[in-house]
Amino acid sequence: MKLSCQEGMVPGRSLEEKLARLEQYGYEGIEFGGSGLAQRSREITRLTAKGKVKPSSICAGYRGCLLSPEPQDRSLAVSDIKELLRVSADIGAVGLIVVPIFGKPQLPDLSPYRDAIESERELLLQLLEELSLHAEKVGSVILLEPLNRYETHFIKRLEQAVEIVRKINSSGLKIMADFFHMSIEEANIPQAIGEAGELIWHVHLADSNRLLPGWGHTDFKAGLQALREAGFDKYMALECGIPGDPEVDLPKTLEYLRGWR
């Protein structure tokens, strides 16, 4: 397992400075936000080619919504996701994190024929078939992320993401497991990780209070042990608040996690 950190969490006035600091701390990856990333891909490739810190992943950054009732919003999301998957392949990242929808359902409830969530599931499956084929074609992966009940009504636990991923059955679609969301939604985090197993392709690290690991009550020792037993060997990226000085807390967090990974 390799440790990564989101770009916005790292001190520095430029990407070059941020990469240098992450390498100094001992991190192996950096996660980018997707907004405007296509225009930065050459710079990212140039700067990461000469150092030890590599692009781990792209976190969302696409417009529109896959499960919007408006065709133009769905088309915009599909178009942007396809572009970011290409960028992900270009810069050498594992893949693009995708959340199907935030908040409440936007599709109408057509009960007794079909409720909104049933419609969302069928629509998502159709869109993911197309997007997964595109991911395969460009050499990237969609990282489907379950959120928690306060951020979405749809796909909140790893088992729900597993069902979707197995239904599509594509090398271009895998799961992103986030310890913060799991601390809210999973009854047993190690068990949930074990059951998702080889489908987990990326991990977000944040404690129960969404601060750096070690600042809350999440049992990272058990969770990381479950990842090891599942054969996970990819990136885990910090996505959380930093309570103190990043220059102090980011190296400390790396040492804390090294004790368990």
* DSSP state letter for 211: B
Rounded distance between C-alpha atoms, residue 239 and residue 177, angstroms:
12
Cα end-to-end distance, the chain, whole Å: 7
What separation in angstroms does the CA of 71 have from each of 58, 68, 135, 259?
25, 7, 22, 48
Q: Is 17 noted as a catalytic residue in this protein?
A: no
Rounded distance between C-alpha atoms, residue 160 and residue 196, angstroms:
10
Amino acid at 64: G
Given the residues 31, 120, 145, 185, select the one marked as catalytic. Answer: 145
What separation in angstroms does the CA of 135 have from each of 50, 89, 95, 150?
27, 9, 9, 29
**152 bridge partner residues:** 103
What does the angle CA 213 – CA 216 – CA 222 come to, to the nearest 5 degrees? 65
Rounded distance between C-alpha atoms, residue 61 and residue 157, angstroms:
22
Tokens 């049992």 belong to 219
Q: Is 118 noted as a catalytic residue in this protein?
A: no
Q: Which residue numbers are catalytic?
A: 145, 239
